[in-house]
Amino acid sequence: MTDSQGMSAVDRSLSQAVKHFPPFDLARLLRTVFAPKAGERIAVLIDLPDPAGLKEFAFLQKPELSIQKLAHDVIYQGLKKGVLSELNLQAGDLFAYRVTGGSNLDLPDNAVDIGGRALSFERDIYPRFNILLCVSTFSATAPLTAFAKRFGFRGATLHGLNEIILRTGLAVDYHEVSRQAEKLRLGLTRADHFEIDFTVATTATRLTIHCGRQEAQKSHGLCRGEKPDVANLPAGEVYFVPTGAEGCFPLRYEDGTIGLMDVAGGRILKARLLAGEQRTVDTHNQKLQADPLTGELGELGFGTQDLPTSGRDIQDEKILGTFHVATGRSDHLGGQLTPDRFANPNNATHDDILFSPTKTPEIQVPKVRMYGNGEMRVVLRDYQPADYLGNLLTA
């Protein structure tokens, strides 16, 4: 449906979301994130149901591949039409691999170039490029981080890319994102544990996540210098790898079912139905029983940016006031849970569970409390930063 000016609801929403942001500038983004050196080689990676669809850009005819189309139209074409020369970079090639089917599952070694040639990532791509940009359906941050350490490249993962992300989360100044994230990191670091209160209808629960006084980490979008590293864009969060957890928390499944997760020893032991389909909860319990590490809590993260909702977790989990708990592999965050420890390789995912007013409107979060140095501080109230976080940001 369009209004009297011919604008659709989607167009109006996009217009509202982007009005406070500068235009997207690929050269500026690459310069800020990577500070690339003259002569460095850069490539773009996409995932496709059939990588052969990269040949002659046949995949562009499939409207459902909107993420990959943006990778081609904006990033690949942007490199070819001026950014390579502006930054004095080389190559700008585009490669495709088969969709993995899950967040942060290991990537296949097989890839295809635009001529349809079969290639090996480990032989033909990782050793030949200094910077890799992966625009995909599912996050590839964990596997690319491991390969970056082996082959020495830097990179960025931009899974779930859409127009709102392109024109807001990727249009910001990442020097400023880094400064804001550092303010919050310093205020949250060395915490003993966090307590999170949840309410779903008349059910109230609490989850305690232990951090063991570890140094908090930040995802801030800067991947500069010689050190191999992979940034997750859009960036903007402070996170911990839990040392333990207990209690209960609600989880909203993709079909809208709400389950209650029983947690002990840092792991989801069992799911119980709160609302929706019992078979959805039963399927989850079967997975937990067959491969218990799928329930391991591998991350607690807090958003740090003032961004519009994009409908994609990659950006929406970076919004100040939101937080996420992740299950599964944690090696890319400095944790100990690696893919080889799972009973089934296809279960070795890292899955973020985002809590926000738009993603989980059925789930209220009255308070998130941090304990450390003998003190308790409220950090979030009802998906809004509490005074403690607000004072950190304005200091």
* pLDDT tens across the length of the chain (395 residues): 444 455 565 566 666 777 789 999 999 999 999 999 999 999 999 999 999 999 999 999 999 999 999 999 999 999 999 999 999 999 999 999 999 999 999 999 999 999 999 999 999 999 999 999 999 999 999 999 999 999 999 999 999 999 999 999 999 999 999 999 999 999 999 999 999 999 999 999 999 999 999 999 999 999 998 899 999 999 999 999 999 999 999 999 999 999 999 999 999 999 999 999 999 999 999 999 999 999 999 999 999 999 999 999 999 999 999 999 999 999 999 999 999 999 999 999 999 999 999 999 999 999 999 999 999 999 999 999 999 999 999 98
Joined tokens for residue 83 = 């950014």
Q: Identify whether residues 250 and 278 lie together within a single domain.
A: yes
Residues contacting residue 272 through CB under 8 Å, at least 6 positions apart: 259, 260, 262, 281
CA-nearest of 161, 88, 93, 101 to 121 is 93
Instruction: Kindly report whether the peptide bond that precedes residue 250 is cis, defined as omega within 30 degrees of 0.
Output: no
Joined tokens for residue 225 = 């210098």
Q: Detail the DSSP E strand segments found in 141-243.
A: 154-157, 193-200, 203-210, 217-219, 229-232, 237-240
How far is the first Cα of the chain from the last one, in angstroms, to the nearest whole number?
A: 46
Q: Identify whether residues 246 and 103 lie together within a single domain.
A: no
DSSP state of 377: E
| Residue 58, domain member (yes or no) | yes
Burial 210-227 (b: 16+ CB within 10 A, else e): bbeebebbbbbbbbeeee
| Residue 120, domain member (yes or no) | yes
Owning domain of residue 107:
35-161
| Per-residue pLDDT, 226 | 84
Q: Identify whether residues 91 and 207 lie together within a single domain.
A: no
Long-range contacts (CB closer than 8 Å, 24 or more residues apart) made by 264-268? 266/210, 266/242, 266/296, 266/297, 267/292, 267/293, 267/295, 267/296, 267/297, 268/295, 268/296, 268/297, 268/327
Q: Is the dihedral of CA 320, 323, 328, 332 positive or negative?
A: positive
| Residue 54, domain member (yes or no) | yes
CA count, 13 A, side-chain hemisphere, 291: 18
Helix (H, G, I), strand (E, B) or coil at 109: coil
Task: Tell me how far apart the alpha carbons of residues 333 and 240 are, in angstroms, rounded to a whole number.
Answer: 8
Q: Identify whether residues 86 and 217 lie together within a single domain.
A: no
Q: Identify whether residues 239 and 333 lie together within a single domain.
A: yes
Q: Identify whether residues 156 and 193 lie together within a single domain.
A: no
| Per-residue pLDDT, 12 | 66
Q: Identify whether residues 221 and 343 lie together within a single domain.
A: yes
Number of folded domains in the chain?
Answer: 2
CA count, 13 A, side-chain hemisphere, 28: 11
| Residue 29, domain member (yes or no) | no
Counted residue by residue, the chain has a size of 395
Strand order in 131-135's β-sheet?
118-120, 110-113, 90-98, 41-48, 131-135, 154-157, 229-232
Residue 100 corresponds to which amino acid?
A: T
Q: Identify whether residues 84 and 192 lie together within a single domain.
A: no
| Residue 238, domain member (yes or no) | yes
Question: Last residue of some domain: 161, 192, 222?
Answer: 161
